């Protein structure tokens, strides 16, 4: 079957996937957004449906003070003896831990900490033994892919931490996973940094602690030499099979604004690339070691066509699935009934780095999209945002001024903030809209049948290259407390996110 990449578009990085029976499950990093670790389900590896999040309670996910380079890093999802495990790192609070559940659609346990440090943790089960690995220092101070045996009931170490592999020679060795196939152990990892030099490498051994022999033709997957190609940064993969002899890499990559502009806004996304084993048990991946926008893979012949993105509204979205917050929210400030969203502002602005502003976000999942929402404007301010970080976001903002409503565009890029295209409109509801392309974010306001152009801003200033962060642009609704004496509830209605045309990778 021929399918299109990415299979999960938008800010869904560091994918980890497993197969249980005929169903696949997938998790991603979430950094400083709550709830954490998006959880997807699929029956064909191509079409994925979000079924929730893994970390849904503050006891699982403390995020106070986490910025857009903090919070939850790369998770790993595994299944053993009827139980699902998700292991990850909260880099700002408590380090490495795992949670578990016997019902993938239900609640997960409170965190169980692991004594070994590092980041990008992974689990490997064999018999009654559990192996824990991460990228970091072992007990002797050596750096590399470090592994120990743990008690899965408690997280306690049963053996010393030991470096088992130092990689294939590239910088920033990370994202390790261990597998067993045909009696051999395969150790998969990334090098090059999660940017334009990103690449997948692997080694093979005869025991869980090695020694491991590098694949002679590493990197097995990279787009680092595909100049003039939109998909870049391939890496951080998990290896999964379909139970019928076909293997795949689920991995991250990102799409530049176009084939020549080396900037990306939607973050690192989830891609699917086929794998082929040779007679000697070594494997190759993709199209001559690269990932393409259009790929053909054996084992997917019966898969239905890749489903297009579905238009979203308040009717088919929920808080805690599509809608997320920055850090742990004050739930008393939100009221949502699938037709109307009401929010009551606190003192935190979108620039906040410690607590949660009153704002809801969903991921931008396509270059070409249109967002629209109607705001009933009380004394406080409210708006629509394209948010990358606390210091990089584009907003359309409305505020009541006497018996009128002020509408404006606000651009925050680093230390500079501008407020322009100011319009004073008659009191009453205002409909805000945002039209996105791969190059621009364009805001509009409409009141009493008249539409006002609030201006166009360049996408490149919301790029990860400028932000230096690990997330992607989020489309959000927000409130801000002004000089008004009371934090009034602000009502949002008629929300829609539509996709006027499909993105075409170049």
Catalytic positions: 14, 174
**Can you tell me the distance from the alpha carbon of 202 to that of 168, in angstroms, rounded to the nearest whole number?**
8
CA–CA gap between residue 117 and residue 114 (Å, rounded): 8
Q: Rounded to the nearest 5 degrees, what angle is found at the Cα of 258, between the Cα atoms of 418 and 196? A: 95
Measured CA to CA in angstroms, residue 46 lies from 9, 89, 506 at distances of: 11, 27, 20
In angstroms, what CA-CA distances link 54 with 60, 277, 340, 382? 9, 33, 26, 30
Six-digit token string for 427: 């009191």
Three-class SS of residue 221?
strand
Q: Are strands 369-376 and 76-80 parallel, antiparallel or unpaired?
A: unpaired
Please classify residue 359 by burial: count the beta carbons closer than 10 Å to its beta carbon, then call 0-12 exposed, 13-18 middle and 19+ buried: buried
Residue 167: what are its φ and ψ, rounded to 5°? 90, -170
Question: For residue 256, what are its two tokens?
Answer: 């530049």
Taking alpha carbons only, the member of 211, 102, 110, 108 closest to residue 165 is: 211
Nearest residue to 346 via CA among 489, 502, 181: 489
Q: Is 223 exposed, middle or buried (0-12, 13-18, 19+ CB in 10 A)?
A: buried
Tell me how far apart the alpha carbons of residues 338 and 372 are, in angstroms, rounded to a whole number. Answer: 16
Q: Is 71 left (phi over 0), alpha (psi -120 to 50) or beta?
A: left
d(CA 100, CA 98): 7
Structure tokens at 197: 């030099």
Q: How far is C-alpha 484 from the chain's CA centre?
A: 36
Residue 414 half-sphere exposure toward CB, CA atoms < 13 A = 7
What sign for the dihedral angle of Cα 86, 57, 382, 376?
positive
Q: Please answer whether residues 54 and 97 qualify as being in contact, where contact means their C-beta atoms are separated by less than 8 angstroms.
A: no
Give the pairing type, strands 294-296 and 162-165: unpaired
Give all strands (DSSP E) within 48-198, no chain letters. 49-55, 76-80, 83-90, 95-101, 112-113, 119-126, 129-137, 143-150, 162-165, 174-181, 184-191
The three-class DSSP label of residue 87 is strand
């Amino acid at each position: 079957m021929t399918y299109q990449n990415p299979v999960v578009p938008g800010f869904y990085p560091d994918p980890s996937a497993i197969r249980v029976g005929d169903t696949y499950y997938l998790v991603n990093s979430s950094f400083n957004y709550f709830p954490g670790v998006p959880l997807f389900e699929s029956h064909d590896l191509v079409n994925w449906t979000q079924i929730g999040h893994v970390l849904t309670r503050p006891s699982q996910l403390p995020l106070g003070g986490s910025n857009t380079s903090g919070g939850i890093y790369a998770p790993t999802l595994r299944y053993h003896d009827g139980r699902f495990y998700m292991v990850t790192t909260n880099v700002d609070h408590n380090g490495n831990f795992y949670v578990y559940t016997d019902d993938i659609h239900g609640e997960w346990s409170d965190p169980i900490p692991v004594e070994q440090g590092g980041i990008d943790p992974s689990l490997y089960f064999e018999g009654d033994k559990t192996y824990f690995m991460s990228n970091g220092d072992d007990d002797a101070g050596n750096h590399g892919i470090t592994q120990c045996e743990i008690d899965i009931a408690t997280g306690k170490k049963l053996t010393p931490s030991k470096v088992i592999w130092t990689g294939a020679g590239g910088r920033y060795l990370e994202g390790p996973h261990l597998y067993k196939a045909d009696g051999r152990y395969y150790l998969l990892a990334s090098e090059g940094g999660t940017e334009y030099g990103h690449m997948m490498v692997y080694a093979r051994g005869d025991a869980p602690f090695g020694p491991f022999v590098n694949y002679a033709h590493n990197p097995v997957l990279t787009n680092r030499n595909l100049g003039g190609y939109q998909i870049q940064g391939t890496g951080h993969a998990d290896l999964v099979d379909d139970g019928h002899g076909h293997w795949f890499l689920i991995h991250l990559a990102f799409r530049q604004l176009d084939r020549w502009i080396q900037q990306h806004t939607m973050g690192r996304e989830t891609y699917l690339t086929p794998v082929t084993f040779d007679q000697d048990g070594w494997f190759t991946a993709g199209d001559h070691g690269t990932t393409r926008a259009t790929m053909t893979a054996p084992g997917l012949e019966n898969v239905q066509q890749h489903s297009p993105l579905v238009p979203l509204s308040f009717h088919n979205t929920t808080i805690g699935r599509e809608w997320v917050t920055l850090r742990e929210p004050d739930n008393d400030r939100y009221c949502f009934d699938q037709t109307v969203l009401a929010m009551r502002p606190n003192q935190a602005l979108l620039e906040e780095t410690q607590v949660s502003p009153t704002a809801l976000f969903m991921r931008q999942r396509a270059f070409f999209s249109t967002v629209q929402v109607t705001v009933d404007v009380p004394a406080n301010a409210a708006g629509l945002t394209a948010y990358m970080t606390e210091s990089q976001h584009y907003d359309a903002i409305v505020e009541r001024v006497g018996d009128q409503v002020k509408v404006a565009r606000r651009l925050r890029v680093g230390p500079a903030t501008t407020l322009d295209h100011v319009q004073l409109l008659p009191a009453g509801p205002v409909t805000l809209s945002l039209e996105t392309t791969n190059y621009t974010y364009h805001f509009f306001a409409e009141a009493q049948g008249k539409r006002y152009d609030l201006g166009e801003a360049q996408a490149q200033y919301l790029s990860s290259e400028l932000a230096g962060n690990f997330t992607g642009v989020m489309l959000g609704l927000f409130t801000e407390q002004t000089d008004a004496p009371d934090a009034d509830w602000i009502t949002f209605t008629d929300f829609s996110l539509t996709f006027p045309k499909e993105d075409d990778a170049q």
